[in-house]
Amino acid sequence: MVNYVLFETAFGYALFERLQSEEIGAKLEQIQESVEDLVKFGKIVKLKAFAPFKNAVHALENANDISEGVVNDHLKAFLEMNLPKPGKKKKRSVNIVLGVVDKSLAGSIKSELGYECETSELVLELVRGIRLHSDKLLSQVKDSELEKGQLGLGHSYSRAKVKFNVNRADNMIIQAISLLDQLDKDVNTFSMRVREWYSWHFPELIKIVSDNYQYAKLAKFIKNKSELTEESMDGLMEIIGDESKAKQILDAAKASMGTDISVLDMININCFADRVIDLANYRKQMYEYLLSKMQKIAPNLSALIGEVVAARLIAHAGSLTNLSKYPASTVQILGAEKALFRALKTKGNTPKYGLLYHSSFIGRAGAKNKGRISRFLANKCTIASRIDCFIDKPTSKYGEALKNQVEERLGFYEHGTAVSKNMEVINKKHKSLKSNEKASKSPTKKKKKNDSPKSDKKDKKVTFVLQVPSELEKVVDQEIPKSGKKKDVKGEESPKSKKKDKK
């Protein structure tokens, strides 16, 4: 039986006591009926304590802790102060049961404070009634202030969550690869529509030109086939790039079996061909954007299996972080979930590969070795994704080393050549990257040493000793006796020689 209910607001924590009575609030149906009426609901619950937050920052911290199921010091002190301590003796007739909405928070309260918590429908109805009549039950907070506080806390909490998602740039990759797939479908569908539409006027053009993009450009350039002359040969050459095909188009236009077409129909065909050309150009731009984005976010995975396949893996996993958490066995069958569950249901053979089938390595492997190479490639993909997810400075060197390992594995299956180990390859590449960083920093240090003022002083001293005037040399030669005692230029003995004479 629930004795107390914890209610979280934008201004603080509120603890409501449920009135223990056999007649009032005993069943869920009675509570549901009395929720709308304040008089009836006031006989079920009563405010016992309220602990306000210090400021908006404190409220945001508590909201984040509640969402993560963490019992912070503020909530812990509030519950310990206002709830009776849980007794371990069986003689106690009343057991304390706290009603909490969040299940994770209820588990944390039970593990840290020892209070029994309940998250049943009865608790939800009680909280619904408290929220409905919060302006009357919470006399410490005004109605207008409560609405403003809820609005401000909601904005700050949502802003923090959105910022967290924005910093994960792999969301852009997911959207880009999804849009690229959709553009491929749309361009293909619209190109087939242009072919069918324009073939009524010029049916021979389909057999000469097979590319959809070139066909749409030619339909826009030719328009009416009767107006096509030898002067338009240069324009055909720019679109196709083949002189023989351009001559075939000219000859086919002269002897075409197509029907005549009105000006209005031709205008509609040209407008639709423009749309197809624009979509195809936008598809190229999106593909270049995806390549550049993958080089910044997942360079090692892109170097291993290619940008498009790597982007599909990230999109299927949901994020690069989720992909890095997957084991190699899961990465191997990503994209083949239907076949996997069908095989488990029918107790048949499970699939060997999913999205990794589109990589070049599996196509190059033999029929017997496709499953082996897919397993090996999935292992390398997990390593590359973890490096990309947690590395500070993005680099594609590790991905290139892993790609060489896959090449060695293919050679092992064909010729039996030895394969290098993971630890050796990664450590070798790590040492080479460190040495390159040191080499790039070392020239600047040497220049600083050469340009230091100490070195200049040494050079000045050396030049002073070497460049002695000739007159000074003569004086020094005269004053130095044979005994080796050095004298100054004026004829006085040095202090060292005086000390020796005294001795």
pLDDT one-digit tens code per residue, 411-444: 888 888 888 888 888 888 888 888 887 787 765 5
pLDDT single digits (tens) 13-54: 999 988 854 444 456 677 777 777 888 888 888 889 998 888
Find how far residue 225's CA is from the centre of its chain: 52
Band (264; pLDDT cuts 50, 70, 90) = very high
% of the chain at pLDDT higher than 90: 29
Angle at 343 between CA 339 and CA 346, to 5 degrees: 135
Alpha-carbon gap, residue 99 to 130, rounded angstroms: 12
Q: Which domains does the chain have, with CATH numbers?
A: 4-163 (3.30.420.220), 174-289 (1.10.287.4070), 298-438 (1.10.246.90)
Q: Is residue 251 predicted with pLDDT exceeding 80? A: yes
Smallest CA-to-CA distance from 378 within 359, 404, 350, 401 is with 359
Strands 45-52 and 116-118: unpaired
Across 353-358, average pLDDT: 88
Q: Which position has the higher pLDDT, 442 or 311?
A: 311
Lowest mean pLDDT across 283-292, 322-331, 487-496: 487-496
The DSSP code sequence of 349-365 is: PPPS-SGGGGSHHHHHS
Which of 30-44, 174-188, 238-252, 404-418 is the least confident region?
30-44
pLDDT top residue among 122 and 492: 122
pTM over the 0.85 mark: no
Contact 497, 487 (CB under 8 A): yes
Band of residue 234 on the pLDDT scale cut at 50, 70, 90: confident
Whole-number pLDDT of residue 215: 92
Q: How far is it, in rounded angstroms, from Cα 475 to Cα 33?
A: 123
Confidence tier at 378 by pLDDT (50, 70, 90): very high
Mean pLDDT of the chain: 81
Q: In 200-225, which ranges are continuous DSSP H helix? A: 205-208, 212-222
Residue 312 has what pLDDT?
94
Q: What is the pLDDT of residue 88?
A: 56
Assign 314 a pLDDT band (cuts: 50, 70, 90).
very high
305 vs 40, higher pLDDT: 305
As a whole number of angstroms, the distance between CA 157 and CA 352 comes to 44
- The partner residues of 99 in beta bridges, in order of sequence, read 5, 118
**Is a pLDDT exceeding 80 seen at residue 357?**
yes
Determine the average pLDDT of the residues in 303-308: 93
Predicted confidence band at 503 (pLDDT cuts at 50, 70, 90)?
very low
The pLDDT assigned to 442 comes to 67
- 130 Cβ neighbours under 8 A, 6+ residues apart: 5, 7, 14, 16, 45, 137
**Residue 389, pLDDT above cutoff 60:** yes
pLDDT band at residue 148 using 50, 70 and 90 as cut-offs: confident
Q: Which helix (H) or strand (E) holds 120?
A: none
DSSP string over 67-96: HHT---HHHHHHHHHHSPPPP--TT-S---
How many other C-beta atoms are found inside a 10 Å radius of the C-beta of residue 219?
25
Residue 483 phi, psi dihedral angles, 5° rounding = -70, -10
The residue type of 200 is W
Give residue for tokens 């490639």: 377
What local confidence, expressed as pLDDT, does residue 285 receive?
95
DSSP of 318-387: SSHHHHHHS-HHHHHTTT-HHHHHHHHHHT-PPPS-SGGGGSHHHHHS-TTTHHHHHHHHHHHHHHHHHH
Bridge partner list, 52: 12
Per-residue pLDDT at 423: 84
Q: What is the mean pLDDT of residues 468-479?
A: 43
Q: Are 370 and 352 in contact (CB under 8 A)?
A: yes
Is the model's pLDDT at 486 over the cut of 70? no
Q: Is the pLDDT of residue 73 over 70?
A: yes
